[in-house]
Structure formats: C-alpha cells, structure tokens
A and B are shown apart, each in its own frame.
Chain A
Amino acid sequence: MTQNSHNSVFVRKVDAETLPPPQNEMGIRGWLWRNLLYSVTDYSSVSAALRSLAMIFFTVLVSYVGLTQLWLLLDFVFFSAVWSDPTGIKREACWTLSQGGTLPDDWHAACWPFIFAKLKFLAYGPYPMDELWRVNVTGLLGLAGLCWVLIEALPYRRLVGVLMLTAYPVIALILLTGGASEANYFNATAYIFVGLALITVGRLGQRDLLGIVASDFASIIGFVGWSLIVFQVLMLIFSVDVGLKPVGTGDWGGLMITLVVAVTGIVVSLPLGVILALGRRSNMPVARLLCTIFIEFWRGVPLISVLFMASVMIPLFLPEGVNFDKLMRALIGVMLFSAAYMAEVVRGGLQAIDKGQYEAAEAMGLTYWQSMRQIILPQALTHVIPGIVNTFIGLFKDTTLVSIIGLFDLLGAGKSAIADASWSSPVQAISIYLFVGFIFFIFCFGMSRYSIFMENKLSKSRSH
C-alpha cells in the first residue's frame, strides 16, 4: 500500500527557489512602510481614516516637540555655548551685556570654561595636586583589571578576577591613603597566634575529635581564625611605609569618592546579598531570623537617614577623641544598605528555581554549599541579572547622598563649585548639573549595556 502510493504521488526532491521578500518590505522603503506609513495610509473606512488622521496628527506633533527640544538642548550644549576663556576673565566670559559682559542679552547657553576650570576639583576634590598620579594609577589599574575580567577572549580571567578582589583593594588603599598607618606589632603577633589556635580547633572539630557540638561550629571557628589572621596581616601590610605622602580621606573628593563608594558598595553587596538571601531561605531558624531582621531593618530605613546617623549620631555615642573616619562610616552604611536590597533580588531568583532542582541536587548527594554553588545559584543569579544591575545602578546614583554628610562626591563637588563667586553667572548651575548628569549617565548606561550583553550570553537557552 505504502509502496504504491510512493509511486503514484509526486515527491519533490529539490527545494523550490527562495523568492526575495516583496519590494515594499525591503530597504528604506520597507522601513518607512513598517514604521511610518503602515498606520497612516488606511482610508478604507471612516474609522480607519479617522485612525490614520489621528496618527498623522500625533506623529507630527511628537516629532515637532521632540526635534525642537533636541535642537534647544544641542544649541544650549554645543552651538551657543561658550567654550573658552582665553583672557582669563572667568565669570565675565559668560556674562551678557546687561550683566557687564560681552554676550548678547538673549544669550542662554552652557558655560564650559567654568567646567574646564573645575575639572580637577570635580574629578579629585581637594586631593593634593602633586599626588594625583596615585589616583590615576589606582583608577587605570582598576579599569584595566575590570576590562580584563569583562572581556571574554582574554586568558587567566579567573586569576585576574581573584587578584582584583584581593590584591587590588590593598594596593588601591595604600596608593590612595599613602599607607604607613600606625601598627601595634605585639598585638598583631598575638592575634595571629590566636587565629592559628582557632584554625586548629576548627580542624580538630571537622575530624569529630571535639564532640558533636564543637564539630557543628568547627567551620565557623576556623573561618573566624582565618579572618583574624588575614586581617592582621593586612594591617601589617598597611603599616609598611612605602614612602608616599599620607593623604587623609578628608582630602578625597569628586568622581573619585563617587567611584570609591559605588565600587565598594557594588563589590561587597553582591556576595553579602547572596549570603543574606540564602540565610533568609535557610532551614536554620536562628540564621533565618537574623537575616530576615537584618534585611527588613535596612530596607525599612531610608539611606539618607542611615548616612545621617552615621555622620551625626555615631560621633556622639563614641568616646571623645575616638574618631571613625567619615568616609568609612558612609561606606559601611552604603554596603549594608545595598546588601539588604541585593538579598531580596537574589531571593527572588532563588524562589524562581523549580523545587525539582533542589531535590535533584540533594539526590545526587551534593552538600548544601555544593548544590548552591553548582546547581542553584548559577541559575538563580542568571534569572535576576536585570534586578542585580538595577540595584547596582540605583546604588551608583544613591552615592550622591553622601554629599549631605559633607563628603564632596561628584555632585557635592559640583554644588561646591557653584558656590564659587568668581564664576557666578545665571548659567553656572545649569552647566555643572548638565556635566555631572552626563558623567552619571555614562556610568549607568555602561552598566546597563553590559547587563544586557550578559543576559543575552547567559540565557541563550531561554531567549525567544
């Protein structure tokens, strides 16, 4: 039967030649048709004609408003703007005739020589002029490392990543502050021995030599021991006098502070957030309770009040003379705050993972940490990349709040620059805000684009 039908039915052996798409679907014509004309050329009925006319009206209106605004912006920023102040007359370079300057009375555009004059202040704040190379080296090193880690074609990315997270902060801190802090060698040695003792206890506990209770806490005790030793060794490293002039954090400012706060917050908040999220979904009641309290507390208070507490209240509680660095206080506040937000984002990812994945991991005999590392977290984090980057971008922009506690971040430095009467003009404030806004846009847009790239790469399997 089947053989017969084979013989009687025509079976095509060669593919038909592929026809080109219709002319009006291709090229500029196609583009115009799809995006512009498609919705405005249907007059077949009264309602369709009305719709088409309404579309024409709104298209023209929106284009007109959009193009006018764009023109005004370009004119303000580029065409009419004052670009140079060759004679060094400062504010008078941006004054109109009625103010005593030379520009026409209806002139209203950006005053860029003001920004150029303040560029050093906006980038570094009051950091000493002769020591700027230290900031530059730190920044370039960070940029190089970051690029290395982000560009996939390069070798040793894992090694560079680990170095960026361990050696780089140490180098950066020494370069920026000058190192040579005072260290107590006796205490440091004592602490290192305590650390070694704790590690030994931890090891013994892991081999079940200390009874059930101790073996439960063994890894924690070992961890504390390791942290103690690493901490003391770092303190000793920081105390080495490398011959750099000390520059206190009071002399930091501008984009430099913005980046220090944002990068620290971003780097710390992700791992801390993951730990908090795991803790909140843990079966251990104490860990769950602590993590929940932590997250809810930090999510419940506004960042501005956290910073305010850190800068105004903490000095009142501390004994007189004990003075916690202002930048450090703000950094800790920002870290804890963003970690709490990150924890909830990560928790969203964890909850999106099917229960079967958890069970499968257990069935394979993986330990909790193994299953988290190998099975759950890679999937969960991929799910929530947009949320994570959202938090990063939010954090980056929130760094401007440190200016209310007297740290001159990029925006704070800008505001301080506005107060300089030798440049005062009606466009002084707008020029600075435009520039600062542009810098923030570059960073935030960059993060956003990279996140989209990561999403596309990691979720190829799910893309539609």
Chain B
Amino acid sequence: MKNITIAIVAIVAAAVGYFGGTSMNKEAPAPAATETETAAVEATLNAVKAKGFVQCGVSQGLPGFSNADDAGNWTGIDVDVCRGVAAAVFGDASKVKYTPLSSKQRFTALASGEIDMLSRNTTWTMTRDTQLGLNFAGVNYYDGQGFLVPTKLGVKSALEMDGANVCSQTGTTTELNVTDFFRENGMKFNLVAFEEADAVVAAYDSGRCDVYTTDRSGLAAQRTKLANPDAHMVLPEIISKEPLGPVVRQGDDQWFNIVRWTLNAMINAEEMGVTSANAKSMANDNNPAIKRLLGTEGTFGAELGLSNDWALNIISQVGNYGESYEAHVGPNTPLKLDRGVNALWSQGGILYAAPVR
C-alpha cells in the first residue's frame, strides 16, 4: 500500500514537473508583461521565431470564422489571419498552433502570454482598446446585429416589433444592444435568453419567441438549423456596429505591425488582383505597387523584421482577402453571406487598406 502510494505521488509530481517544465522551457524567451512596456518591445517576434510557431487564440467553434473541420483542422477567415501571420514570419502557413478560447478567457490568455495573437471574432470597442492593454490590429469582418423573423408575421421592419418576445444568447453584447434599440424606439419587448446558441435556435423554431437576434453572420449560420429556413427573413435593420478583428498585446509595435500588415497585404492583394494562383508570376508584373507588395521592389519586409517575400508567402499560401472570404463565408459556402459592407472600397464596400509604399 505504502509503496504504491509513493509511486503514485512520484508519478503525479513527475507529470506536474514534466508539463510545467516543458512549457516553461519552451516559452522561456516569451514576451514581457504589458505593464513593463519598455521590456516588451519587439519581444514577441523573437519568441515566436524561437519556438517555431504562432500560438493563435481562436473561438471554440464559430462557422466560417474559426471552426474545426471533420479532421479537426481549423478553418475560417479568422484562422486565415493566423495562417497569414505564420506565412509572413516563417514562410509556412501551417506553423500555427490554435488555442480555442471562450469569450471570457480570450483577453486573459492574450495578456498572460499564453497566446501570441487573438483572432476570435472580437469586436473592436473603445473600452477593450484602451483599458485592457490590448491593440486591435485591424478589421477583418464588419458585422452588425440583426433580426430574424418568421415571414408569416408580416413584419417588414424592426420598428414594427412592439411587444415582441426576443430570443438571444446570454453573456454577449447582443442583449445590451437589443435593449438599447427597443428603449430608444419606445417599444416594449420581452427578452428570452439562453446559454447555448442551439437552445436559442430551438426556442425560436418552436415559436417560443417572435424574433431571433444575434450578429448577422451568426443569423446566416443558424438559419440552416431551422425546420423551414425559407419561412424566415432577416430584417433590414442593423442595430449595432461590430467590427471584428485580430488583437495583440499593447507595447510590442513590431508584432502589432506584422499582424496589421498581414491583414493589409491580404486586402491590398485582392484590390490589385493578386491571388494565390497568380502571386508567383505577378511578382514580376510591371505594376510597381504589386512589385512593392510582393517584395520584388523595396525592402518593406525587412522593415517589419521579416523576409522580403513576406506578402508573397501570405498570398500564395493563404490567398487574398477575397479568396479567404469566398472560401469560408461567401455565397458558395454554407453561410451564404454576400460581401455587403465587407466588399472593397472600390466595389461599394468599406474595406480599405493603407498602401504598401
């Protein structure tokens, strides 16, 4: 009995030391705390290079944004930002490890250095940008909260919904937004909130409530779970602005720039018509802007602390923004989302990236 106990204690202790020890060793040159900003300068890139992969925080499963496929590989437009950063840093988009995070854990995980970047459908708000020691590196999807109603209600506008039962998920800003909207327009409503998205859909489908509200990308995803999707319509009103984008720790400007310009490079590539298929041949194009982007002219990569073909790697391995959009959330995917405001500025949207020059 005693010998067995000793053995068990030793094994537990060994396991503790093993796990703790390995991760400590591996992440020894990790970034410093956000409070000691001077020490944090340009530490993340070195740490990432030393360990050989980007640790990227993603959601626990949001269709089209970050979601594990049948084999367990992560896919989605948020995941593509992570892969883009890995391609820029290592020239290999597969050098990413994913940490699925709940909405409560995500900022702690980033602040504590558990992850190098957060790409988890996170809304850019002033509070988060100024009070949490974080920086938003851009916007990769402009979302907004919308309403889904059964067509048979005959409602054409959200302003006709006085006294409605509203289904929503708890613990998100959707509750707050919908409360604001109804109060602002002097309407009464009854909020029916559930913990799980599936419970919300089930309640809405069974007629427990008249309207289902969440981000419009979410409405598109959940709509296919209704018994008769065509009997429901999305109302025209968008009651909130939800610019979603990748987040990094405050105080490491180099890493911040790498993430920001990874996103910018993907958007610029779409604007210039550079795709994963033609990126290699376009590198010798006559257009100087394309040459600068793909590294055949200038030293833009070196200024970021990367190789000069950083953007070429991103685009040839991950694709441009449009390709990523079409592959994961566009009209040919289960989500069937039109580009809408997420189209390029030159095509009627608001996607506008600073030029590479």
Instruction: Report A's interface with B, CB cutoff 8 A.
Output: 91, 96, 98-100, 105, 117-118, 120-121, 124-127, 129, 162, 165-166, 169-170, 173, 177, 181-182, 223, 226-227, 230-231, 234-235, 238, 248-251, 253, 267-268, 271, 275, 311-312, 315-316, 318, 320-328, 331-332, 335, 369, 373, 377, 403-406, 408, 412, 415-422, 424-426, 428-429
Contact = CB atoms under 8 A, between A and B. Distances in A.
Interface in B155-186: none
B72 A182 contact: no
B53 to A, nearest CB: 10
Given A227-B6, A315-B108, A424 B17 contact: no
A158 to B, nearest CB: 10
B60 A406 contact: yes
Contacts of A417: 61, 68
Interface stretch (B21-29, B85-93, B293-301): B21-29
A169 B15 contact: yes
The 3 closest A-B pairs by CB, nearest first: A321-B30, A419-B61, A421-B63
Contacts of B61: 415-420
Contacts, number: 216
Contacts of B23: 323-325
B27 to A, nearest CB: 5
A420 B26 CA distance: 33
Chain A interface main SS type: helix
B4 A416 contact: no
A426 B100 CA distance: 25
Interface stretch (B109-117, B273-281, B310-318, B343-351): B109-117
A238 B221 contact: no
A342 to B, nearest CB: 13
A424 B63 contact: yes
Given A129-B71, A249-B19, A165 B8 contact: yes
Contact of B333 (A125, A312, A421): A421
Nearest to B220: A421
Interface stretch (B124-132, B138-146, B222-230, B264-272): B222-230
B72 A424 contact: no
A159 to B, nearest CB: 12
A326 B4 CA distance: 27
Nearest to A428: B225
A120 B227 CA distance: 28
Contacts of A250: 97-99
B33 A117 contact: no
Contacts of A223: 6
B224 A421 contact: yes
A420 B13 contact: no
Given A98-B230, A234-B14, A328-B20, A124 B72 contact: yes
B11 A248 contact: no
A322 B33 CA distance: 11
Contacts of B32: 320-321
B15 A328 contact: yes
Interface residues of B, number: 78
11 contacts: A121-B68, A126-B72, A227-B10, A323-B24, A325-B23, A335-B12, A412-B60, A416-B100, A426-B225, A426-B227, A429-B198
A404 B103 CA distance: 10
Contacts of A369: 1-2
B8 A324 contact: no
Contacts of A426: 205, 225-227
B233 interface: no
B108 A316 contact: yes
A88 B333 CA distance: 15
B105 A311 contact: yes
Given A230-B6, A419-B63, 13 more contacts: A99-B228, A126-B72, A170-B11, A182-B21, A250-B97, A251-B97, A332-B16, A404-B102, A408-B60, A419-B197, A421-B63, A424-B63, A426-B227
Contacts of B205: 426
B224 A182 contact: no
Contacts of B15: 169, 173, 328, 331
Given A121-B68, A165-B7, A420-B61, A98 B108 contact: no
B20 A234 contact: no
B6 A234 contact: no
Nearest to A275: B5
B169 to A, nearest CB: 13
A248 B64 CA distance: 26
Contacts of B101: 406
B10 A231 contact: yes
Contact of A419 (B4, B16, B67, B113): B67
Contacts of B322: none
B224 A166 contact: no
A410 B66 CA distance: 19
